[in-house]
Amino acid sequence: MPGKTTFVLGGARSGKSVFAEQLVEQSGLDAVYIATGQAYDDEMRERIAAHKQRRGLVWTTVEEPLDLIGALRSHAGEGRAVLVDCLTLWLTNLMMAERDIAAEIARLAAAIPELSGAVLFVSNEVGLGIVPDNRMARAFRDHAGRLNQAVAAAANQVYFIAAGLPLKMKG
């Protein structure tokens, strides 16, 4: 594990989760997976199942849709690598629960430097297409951009993933 906090940003089906999982596996640390996705529908259930299968049995899996900061504080620690997959699903859950997004982003950014051990965040870049028609999608896009900026600023290493390949942006 080269740095303490690693941020892996990429598009849909870019290979970002696999890349982050490989970083954890190469670290030799005890692996904890914090899944922020809830099994809302069959499509999501399939994705979570595929992720579980790929990660194999040596991982501890935690499902935490909303209290990500609490889950990080409980599970991060020396000798462990905690992988959060992903921040954009956490954001979706926060918006559905009508939380104060700016406050949640600020809390997460403040919590990151206090966590011990290795922590990896996976997130989607969603701001590189045409402006969405509906206001909710625009709000999501704005929040996601701010969340990604905040975590990238707090991270020691940042990778942008496209077609399964990493571009190092920081660290």
Binding of residue 97 to a copy of itself (CB under 8 A): no
> Which tokens is 44 given?
């999501």
**How far apart, in whole angstroms, are the C-alpha atoms of residue 111 and residue 44?**
28
Tokens for 147, please give them: 């969340």
DSSP letter for 15, please: S
C-alpha dihedral over 20, 152, 164, 76, to 10 degrees? 10
Minimum separation from the CB atom of position 75 to a copy of itself (A): 24
From residue 30 to residue 69, the character string flagging contacts with a copy of itself as x (rule: CB under 8 A) and all else as - is -------------x--------------------------
Pairing of strands 60-63, 30-35: parallel
Nearer to a copy of itself, 10 or 117 (CB): 10
- The residue range among 56-64, 74-82, 97-105, 161-169 that interacts with a copy of itself, by the rule CB under 8 A, is 161-169
Using CA atoms, how far apart are residues 116 and 113, in angstroms rounded to an integer? 8
Based on CB atoms, which residue is closest to a copy of itself, 27 or 148? Answer: 148
127 is in an annotated binding site: no
Q: Which is nearer to a copy of itself, 103 or 167 (CB)?
A: 167
51, 75, 80, 143: the catalytic one is 51
Q: Which of 90, 93, 98 is nearest to 147 (CA)?
A: 90
- Residue 16 marked as a ligand binder: yes
Q: Return d(Cα 30, Cα 79) in angstroms, integer.
A: 6
Longest dimension (CA), the chain: 46
Closest approach of a copy of itself to the CB of residue 77, in Å: 26
Q: Output the six-digit token pair for 54.
A: 């790929």
Residue 143 designated active-site:
no
Residues that bind a copy of itself (CB under 8 A): 7, 9-15, 43, 125-132, 135, 137-138, 140-142, 144-146, 148-149, 151-153, 158, 160, 162-167, 169-170
Cite the annotated binding site by residue number.
10-17, 35-37, 52-55, 63, 85
